[in-house]
Amino acid sequence: MLSLHTIKPKPGSKKRKKRIGRGIGSGSGKTSGRGMKGQKSRSGASGFQRLGMRKLMLATPKLRGFTSPHASASVVNLSALSEIFATGDIVTPKILKQKKLIAKISDGVKILGDGDISIALTVKGCKVSSSAEKKITAAGGTIKA
C-alpha cells in the first residue's frame, strides 16, 4: 500500500554532498581536493585564472613566425593589373578571382601601388592603398566603394 512514509526517491537520484576539509578519513581532508601549492590552491583564486590566455599562448606558434588570421586580405599589385586588363575595364574581386590573380574573396581584396599603370581602370569593391589610388587616378581611372 502506498503511504507518505513509504515513498523513497529513485536509487541513484540523490547524491550526498561532499564534505570537504573534515579529516583524513573523509577522503578530501588536509588540502581539501586542491592539491599542493599554486594559484588554484589559494582562497579567492577562482575569479582570476587566465584560462583564455593559456589557450592563446598554446595556439600561437613558437619561434616559427605565423600569419595572423585577422590580416589576411588578398593582395594584388598595380603591375599585375596593367598586364591583364585593358583601358576602360572594370576591376572587381569577382573578376580578379576569375582571372586567377587572387585565391579567395571572403577576406577582402586590396590593391597595392607596386608597379606603374598607364591604362584607365574602374575599381569597384576593393580596398586601395594611397599610393595605388594616386597612380590609378593619375592614369585617368576611378575608384568606387
132: in domain? yes
Looking at the structure, tell me whether residues 78 and 127 fall in a common domain.
yes
Looking at the structure, tell me whether residues 87 and 126 fall in a common domain.
yes
Q: Is 2 exposed, middle or buried (0-12, 13-18, 19+ CB in 10 A)?
A: exposed
Position 77 pLDDT exceeds 90: yes
Range(s) of the domain holding residue 138: 74-144
Strands 109-112, 127-128: pairing kind: parallel
pTM greater than 0.85: no
> pLDDT digits over 89-113, tens only?
999 999 999 999 999 888 899 999 9
Question: Which among 135, 127, 130 has a CA at the least distance from the CA of 73?
Answer: 127
Looking at the structure, tell me whether residues 92 and 120 fall in a common domain.
yes
Looking at the structure, tell me whether residues 53 and 80 fall in a common domain.
no
Looking at the structure, tell me whether residues 81 and 137 fall in a common domain.
yes
Total domains in the fold of the chain = 2
